[in-house]
Structure 1
Amino acid sequence: MAAITMSRGARGFTLIELMIVVAIVGILAAIAYPSYMDYVRKGNRTDAKTALLQVAQTLERCFTQYSAYNNANCSVLNAGTVNSAEGFYTVGVVSDATTYTLTATPVAGRAQAGDAKCATLTLNNLGVKGATGTALTECWK
């Protein structure tokens, strides 16, 4: 029987080389993941914007029909809070006969609950858009 010998070039990876690659991948992941989550949250904010605009449109139709935002026949008021289409937000309505303020609040336990940049989004009957959080200029973009 002939002995099998390995040349120096065909030995494979050493443990040190493998650990260096794992460390580099870990560092890249630690940098990339928070940035990725910011993009996901920014994309999910469109769910709140859409819901706010839909509820505002419904309230404007009520005002056109009944000359008051808080008329008992307005279905959006009877619901209490309205869930957004994707379920990331709930929209609360505060209204009287001539004004309303809508507030989109993230649902606890969902991805948007950790959105510190834009914690809540608001819209009123004058079309004034507002937000709470640490990056208010980014919220309605």
Structure 2
Amino acid sequence: MNERNQNGFTLIEVMIVVAILGILAAIAYSSYQNQVIRSNRSDARVTLSDTAQRLQRCYTSYSRYNDDNCTVYEQLTEGGAAIESAEGYYEVTISDDTATTYTLTATAIAAPQTSDDLCDTEMTLNHRGTRSPEACW
């Protein structure tokens, strides 16, 4: 009887390991992408909050949000302009703006935020501090 010592792995064993690694990588990549999108939302939150603070300073100084001397208001309304967020993922615009009200909207303009299904690529903040959608804040 001739006994042989086997060293190494069979092709089947190697293919099973490769398949398992592929499945794990697919799950890990999906989780990573979701986490990146969630963390990038802070870019919109910071820009919305900063813009709201600047508008509040205008209200304190001029007793209105839409005063011509308010530089942030001019920035938001001059020819349909918008304020781009620091990281460049969002663009903030103003609507429903009167002397005593406003609504700021952050719209995703760059990947991966443009594929954010939970927040539908938009976050809002108004003069009362109401934020929506709530899950994004």
Structure 2, unpaired ranges of 5+: 76-80
State the aligned residue count. 127
Residue 49 of structure 2: which of 49, 53, 58 is its match? 53
CA distance in 2: counterparts of 1:8 and 1:118, whole angstroms: 60
- Is residue 63 of structure 1 aligned with residue 37 of structure 2? no
After TM superposition, list the pairs within 5 Å mapping 1:17-36 onto structure 2.
Answer: 17-36=13-32
Q: Deviations over 1:83-137 (max 9, x none)?
A: 11111111111211110100011014x1111101012110000011112xxxxx4
Q: Please provide the CA RMSD for this pair.
A: 1.4
Q: Deviations over 1:30-70 (max 9, x none)?
A: 22222221111111111110000000000001111111111
Letter in 1 for 2:58: C
Structure 1, unpaired ranges of 5+: 1-6, 132-136
What is the TM-score normalised by the length of structure 1? Answer: 0.83
- Is residue 44 of structure 1 aligned with residue 40 of structure 2? yes
CA distance in 1: counterparts of 2:21 and 2:107, whole angstroms: 36
After TM superposition, list the pairs within 5 Å mapping 1:1-141 onto structure 2.
Answer: 8-10=5-7, 12-79=8-75, 80-94=81-95, 95-108=97-110, 110-119=111-120, 120-131=122-133, 137-140=134-137
